[in-house]
Structure 1
Amino acid sequence: MMQQYSIADTFGIPAPASMKVEGFSPAHNPYVPIKKAYVFRKDHLRDVLAFLGSANGDGLNLTGPTGSGKTSLLEQVAARLHWGVHSVTGHGRLELNDLLGQYMLADAGAMKWIDGPLTLAVRLGHILLINEIDAVDPAELIGLNEVVEGKPLTIPQSGDVMLPHPKFRLVATGNSQGAGDQSGLYQGVLRQNLAFLDRFRLMEVGYPEPEDEMKLLADIVPSMPETLRESMIKVANQIRKVFIGGQDGAGMLSVTLSTRGLVRWATLVATFKSAPNALAYSLDRALTFRAEASEREAIHRIAKDVFGDDWQV
């Protein structure tokens, strides 16, 4: 069953009361993502809702740096609309048959067909979410071309042919635009087939604005002083600038403090608040233990400059 939802009430953004979006009626659907604290960005939300409302034979490809919130954006929209999501992480050995399903041994030695994530999403009108799609062999992804356009899905193993549910959607996330990794930071990224990419709308998802991350941290660690949260976000944004680089060349860091990492840092500070330097102690465990020694020192220097005397708290 479908239901209309108020955009303002559902997503917590300013919008006229008359603006509504269609979703599924609440039900005990195990495929609906768990609703979590999330601050929606108006432009991103508009694009996702437009796609879910009418795909017009397109998929949706969310691109952006690691940890910028590509997957969580889609999942949290779906959570509030009670829209089922079948999430798959792409890798070099992922095959189309893994998405379609397989025959498995059932009771009394009989073979039973088990739907894969693509078949389930097509059948139920759910979202198939392929994360890190640019790590998948492009020859396998070509098999999705027709179903993205709304054409029947054929299952070679069983001979079944099914028309996609009108609410079926295909969404992909990745760190490149399908042209391969030019930075050398994302190992395993492959150049994708142009005909496949041409079937997707594109969305760039960058890191949130400071005020959005402030709202998020306030929800997750409300006991943390506001000034401390502000400084943590300043540190995160300075690290991101050095990581991403600019027109003069690639960034100078191989790690970055994503929104996910920022939340981890904040929660660890609350957990280890009795440590001699809770900020530094938690930053190591949230991020810098993954970095080279020189990078770790540079990140701590950034943090010390931002926090000043508070760095020793």
Structure 2
Amino acid sequence: MSTQSFTVATTFGVNARPELEVQGFADATHPQIPIRQPYVFRPELLRDVLAYLHEARGDGLFLTGPSGAGKTSLVTQIAARLNWPVQAVTCHGRLELSALIGQFVLVNGSTQFVHGPLSVAVREGHILILNEIDLMDPAELAGLNDIIEGQPLVIAENGGEVIRPHPRFRLFVTGNSAGAGDRSGLYQGVQRQNLAFMDRFRVIEVRYPEPEVEKAVIQAAAPKLPELIIDKMLLVAAEVRRLFQGSQEGEPELTVTLSTRTLVRWASLSLTFKGAPNVFAYALSQALTARAEPEQREAIHRLCADIFGDYWTTTP
């Protein structure tokens, strides 16, 4: 695939020097290019990801942070604007490295080897995103060490096939921990990762956006929602997150939180069900609180009623 230069300021809608460019691909028709969606880029995170895309230097990039903070969407929306194909996999405790490399499957009565997302990304110069990497067995992930450093991928199952990494191949992983395990007890199944594996990654922390950024995200997703209502939703989110995270002295009071993803869902559903009785409570229930414990659900809705005031029982 032929490359193309993109101007950072115009491509990502951020303040940057007019002459600052980044390399992507010219072909915008590849089926693995993520669908472009409205997105508000945070300059510091954009800077770090673009720096890695420009030059990996034998590293992977680990994005850590709370659920729904925008770790995966940050990468996919950058890739969408650079026409960069993406292979994305959600990890789990039973995922084996062989599934990422490829396997033999039955095709028209005969078996043939089908390359997996890792093999395709390495060969074609795609971005590989391994989501929830800290759920995967550390012993399986150790098999990625040489690939990250630029060594050839050798597929013994396919007759010793050797795939030399494309210079544009990039590996991103996301996780709710930074490889050290989950001390909060909120993310079940998270495993402590091997130090040698983690040593091969740059690590950036993706927190929830600042209120003004998050407000712009909601306005892009639900443009007909009144600004006053969005402001009140943001106040609710801030308080719910505070209770979810707890303090140094005490345990968290909530086991669910209003991530940016959930906040956008709440805003969008409030418009979808516009005109329904108690629309904000109804939309919040579907977006979040229906999966909370009854006492926590009641506490969150009571908090909303205090912040929204009379608007809690009106339509947008």
- For the aligned pair, the TM-score class normalised by the smaller chain equals over 0.9
Structure-1 residue corresponding to 2:222: 221
Counterpart check, 1:238 vs 2:239: yes
Deviations 1:194-219 (A, max 9, x none): 10000000010000111111111211
Structure-1 residue corresponding to 2:157: 157
Q: Distance in 1 between matches of 2:112 and 2:29?
A: 25
Q: CA RMSD in A?
A: 1.0
One-letter identity of the residue aligned with 2:123: R
Measured after TM superposition, the shift of residue 304 of structure 1 is: 1.3
Counterpart check, 1:111 vs 2:111: yes
Structure-2 residue corresponding to 1:94: 95
Classify the secondary structure of the residue corresponding to 1:157: helix
Moved over 4 A (4+): none
Structure-2 residue corresponding to 1:9: 10
Measured after TM superposition, the shift of residue 247 of structure 1 is: 2.1
Structure-2 residue corresponding to 1:304: 305
Structure-1 residue corresponding to 2:120: 120
Deviations 1:258-281 (A, max 9, x none): 111011101111011111111111
Deviations 1:63-107 (A, max 9, x none): 000100001011101111111111001101100100000112223
Structure-2 residue corresponding to 1:139: 139
Report 1:36-47 matches (<5 A). 36-47=37-48
Deviations 1:86-140 (A, max 9, x none): 1001101100100000112223x33221110000000100011000000000000
Measured after TM superposition, the shift of residue 156 of structure 1 is: 1.2
Classify the secondary structure of the residue corresponding to 1:33: coil
Deviations 1:29-65 (A, max 9, x none): 1111111111000000000000111010000000000
- Deviates most, 248-257 or 275-284: 248-257
Classify the secondary structure of the residue corresponding to 1:88: strand
- Deviates most, 200-209 or 294-303: 294-303
Structure-2 residue corresponding to 1:288: 289
Classify the secondary structure of the residue corresponding to 2:103: strand
Classify the secondary structure of the residue corresponding to 2:104: strand
One-letter identity of the residue aligned with 2:139: A
Q: Distance in 2 between matches of 1:142 and 1:123?
A: 20
User: Which consecutive residues of structure 2, in runs of 5 or more, have no partner in the other structure?
Assistant: none
One-letter identity of the residue aligned with 1:229: I
Q: Distance in 2 between matches of 1:148 and 1:120?
A: 15
One-letter identity of the residue aligned with 1:94: L
Q: Distance in 1 between matches of 2:218 and 2:296?
A: 25
Q: Distance in 2 between matches of 1:49 and 1:240?
A: 29
User: Which consecutive residues of structure 1, in runs of 5 or more, have no partner in the other structure?
Assistant: none
Structure-2 residue corresponding to 1:63: 64
Q: Distance in 2 between matches of 1:140 and 1:247?
A: 35
One-letter identity of the residue aligned with 1:103: F
Q: Distance in 2 between matches of 1:274 and 1:153?
A: 57
Q: Distance in 1 between matches of 2:118 and 2:247?
A: 38
Q: Distance in 2 between matches of 1:209 and 1:131?
A: 23
One-letter identity of the residue aligned with 2:35: I
Q: Distance in 2 between matches of 1:6 and 1:192?
A: 37
One-letter identity of the residue aligned with 1:278: V
Deviations 1:131-186 (A, max 9, x none): 00000000000000000001111111011111100000111000011111111111
Measured after TM superposition, the shift of residue 250 of structure 1 is: 3.8
Q: Distance in 2 between matches of 1:114 and 1:265?
A: 41
Counterpart check, 1:51 vs 2:52: yes
Q: Distance in 2 between matches of 1:212 and 1:175?
A: 21
Q: Distance in 1 between matches of 2:242 and 2:206?
A: 15
Q: Distance in 1 between matches of 2:267 and 2:122?
A: 39
Classify the secondary structure of the residue corresponding to 2:157: coil
Q: Distance in 1 between matches of 2:242 and 2:71?
A: 19
Structure-1 residue corresponding to 2:211: 210
Q: Distance in 1 between matches of 2:223 and 2:106?
A: 51
Q: Distance in 1 between matches of 2:107 and 2:223?
A: 50
Q: Distance in 2 between matches of 1:224 and 1:213?
A: 14
